[in-house]
Amino acid sequence: MRGGRGRVSLRPVRGRVRSPLRARWRPLGRLVHAAGQGDAVSRHELLSVRGRTVAWLFPLLLLVGIAAGDVATGAFEIISWTVLVPGVAAAICGVRGTAVLAVLSLVVYVMADTVWQHRDETGLPGLVLVVLGGSIAVVAAAFRVGGERRMLHMRDIADTTRRTVLRPLPAGFGGLDHAAVYLPADSEARVGGDFYDIQPGPHGTRVLVGDVQGKGLGAVETAAALLGTFREAAYHEPDLATVAERLETRMVRHRGHTAALGRSDGDRFATAVLIGFSPGLPDTVEAVVFGHEPPMAVGPGGVRVLPVAGGLPLGMAELLPGGPDAVPPVRRLPLAADETLLVVTDGVTEARDPAGGFYRPAGDIARALAADDRYAAPARLVALVRDGTLRHCRGRLSDDTTVFAVRRRGPRREEPGDA
């Protein structure tokens, strides 16, 4: 439903044979990519050893090499190279480190021009150039460091927002084994309109997975509003249909509020899947679908799409025959103890390969189950669909992607390596 394209890096496939030369240059390639993307965290990690930065080592080695080459060969003017050292430092070092390297560059130049004297002196113009280059580098480093601090602060805010919307779920929460992965289409945003949650209560455990139309902070705000209502209604309401009604009402109220504020996203809607696990129905689940892809049941026997009638998205109940008070019906569906419910968002169903073909995860899942039925476990199932989606679209996601899997917690436990 949302535009924009994001690039997500794929991990190397286990067992692939990699060239030693390629592996040797991979850190440099990652550094270049991180620098191009403005990823301060990646640069700091790549230029640190045991938590201590070694960024200063690269411009220092450059300065030593310039000085040694100039003294040993006299093949080039040192002034044309020492001015590059603080410039390199400004790109990867802090302000203090850049200033120190600028001073060292000036000292090396002065020594070459007045002490070694193996060529004619370049005089005041060369000295001014080195001083000016170092000063500009220090100012540039100050601007860069300030921008990185602001970016890291915004990243912390985004991570906090994501933890608020997509709160961490304890293992076995509500008597369910679960696993989830969220990949934003915009790799810089880190948070979007996809949402999921599990809420145990006195009437059973309820699960909600959905996708807000649109993108940006407005979509995050809508997702937070729906999740807040879900967490309360799913705990207190004995009937899943009432929970569905509360979600529809919350969406309409939220749209009215944003429209009253004059915002352009006042007509936003959301697709969702609402699932109920009742303690008295061990082989059955209740499900309500709001215009979303129906969930799939995955077990040792294969993959099947649950026959749930897909209603209209949240916020569009006025278009149903029953008017604004109408909600999609609650369906009771059989679900074996060894079957896992899989729910995905548009990032999976709309993933395209270079030829424009859509990704259909059911085929990959069926083949994996034929080889090993342990792929029905939530963690393995989520990883399988995630990797298949990224492989199909070559790592270029057209939409935020959520893969969520859940099943009743029973004698068969997740393996430690699957967590």
Global confidence as pTM: 0.67
| Residue range 190-221, pLDDT digits in tens | 566 789 999 999 999 999 999 988 777 778 88
Question: Cα–Cα distance between 397 and 106 in angstroms, integer?
Answer: 49
Q: Please state, in angstroms and rounded to a whole number, the distance separating the CA atoms of residues 149 and 141.
A: 12
Nearest to 330 by CA among 240, 197, 211, 206: 240
pLDDT tens by residue, 232-243: 999 999 999 999
Q: pLDDT at position 35, please?
A: 42
Q: Which residue has the higher pLDDT, 323 or 305?
A: 305
Per cent of the chain over pLDDT 90 is: 26
Average pLDDT on 355-384 reads: 90
Lowest mean pLDDT among 35-44, 149-158, 253-262, 371-380: 35-44
**Pairing state between β 204-212 and 270-277:** antiparallel
Better-predicted residue by pLDDT, 64 or 162: 64
For residue 28, pLDDT over 90 is answered with: no
Token digits of residue 130? 């080195």
With a cut of 70, say whether residue 165 has pLDDT above it.
yes
Average pLDDT over residues 2-23: 38
Question: Of the ranges 37-41, 70-74, 82-86, which is most confident?
Answer: 82-86
Q: Is the pLDDT of residue 402 over 80?
A: yes
Q: What is the DSSP letter of 311?
A: B
Mean pLDDT, rounded, for 372-394: 91
Residue 110 has pLDDT above 70, yes or no: yes
Q: What is the DSSP string of 108-140?
A: HHHHIIIII--S----HHHHHHHHHHHHHHHHH
In sequence order, what are the beta bridge partners of 290? Answer: 272, 311
Dist CA 289 CA 314 (whole Å): 10
Q: How far apart are CA 367 and CA 327, in angstroms?
A: 37
Q: What is the DSSP string of 49-87?
A: ETTEE-TTHHHHHHHHHHHHHHHHH--S-THHHHTHHHH
Burial class, 125, CB count within 10 angstroms (exposed 0-12 / middle 13-18 / buried 19+)? exposed
Q: What is the mean pLDDT of residues 359-375?
A: 90
Quick check: 362 pLDDT over 50?
Answer: yes
pLDDT value at position 119? Answer: 55
Q: Give the pLDDT of residue 48.
A: 60
Q: 3-class SS at 245?
A: helix
Residue 144 host element (H or E): helix 124-165
pLDDT category at 357 given cuts 50, 70, 90 is confident
Look at the block and give the residue holding tokens 């504020």: 261
Residue 297 has pLDDT above 90, yes or no: yes
Residue 301, pLDDT > 90, answer no
Phi, psi (degrees; rounded to nearest 5) at 100: -65, -45
User: Would the pLDDT of 15 be above 50?
Assistant: no
SS (H, E, C) 251-295: HHHHHHHHHHCCCCCCCCCEEEEEEEECCCCCCEEEEEEEECCCC
Per-residue pLDDT at 150 exceeds 50: yes
Residue 262 has pLDDT above 90, yes or no: no
- pLDDT at position 78, please? 62
pLDDT band of 180, cuts 50, 70, 90:
very high
- What token pair was written down for 253? 């109220």
In the chain, helix, strand, coil percent, each to 5? 50, 20, 30
User: Which pLDDT band, with edges at 50, 70 and 90, does 319 fall under?
Assistant: confident
Helices and strands (H, E) in the chain, number of each type: 12, 14
Contact partners, residue 225, CB within 8 Å, separation at least 6: 250, 251, 254
